[in-house]
Amino acid sequence: LNRSLLQFAQKRSLRMKKVLESVILFLVVWTVTEITRYSFYTFNLLNHLPYFIKWARYNFFIILYPAGVAGELLTIYAALPYVKKTGMFSLRLPNKYNVSFDYYYFLIVVMFSYVPLFPQLYFHMLRQRRRVLHGEVIKES
């Protein structure tokens, strides 16, 4: 969801230089991540998984995940003034649907959602890494 959100929603504000740098960061990270992920899936389906592909799948995320999150958050943060000024993707009352939506505040909620979600997902990947690469049995509490 977040990848689609960033690609679609921030498209109009990419002209700003400070946004462009963070977009380049998360696009490079996403590219390396997807190449690694789909190489892993493909070789796994062919029942011929080279150790390097397996190793890359469970090690690259250690750097790529935080870098990608940083790029995403910097992009959203840099776009906030533009979104607020233009009312981009916001729906104001009164309207025929009798509902309002403020995209600016939605983006702020998305940014704050990283606080509880990022560590949970990151540590899940670390547990998966231990299980797959080191054969450890992880007991979930």
Residue 111: give the domain boundaries: 2-134
Q: Which residues carry out catalysis?
A: 65, 72
pTM of the model: 0.81
pLDDT at 10 over 60: no
Q: How confident is the model at residue 135 (pLDDT cuts 50, 70, 90)?
A: confident
Q: Is residue 139 part of a domain?
A: no
Query: Helices marked H in the chain — which ranges?
Result: 2-9, 17-45, 51-57, 61-86, 103-134
Q: How confident is the model at residue 104 (pLDDT cuts 50, 70, 90)?
A: very high
Q: Is residue 20 part of a domain?
A: yes
- Please give the average per-residue pLDDT across 75-81, as a whole number: 89
Cα distance between residue 128 and residue 64, in whole Å: 16
Instruction: Tell me how many domains the chain contains.
Output: 1
Find the range with the poorest average confidence among 47-51, 63-67, 95-99. 95-99
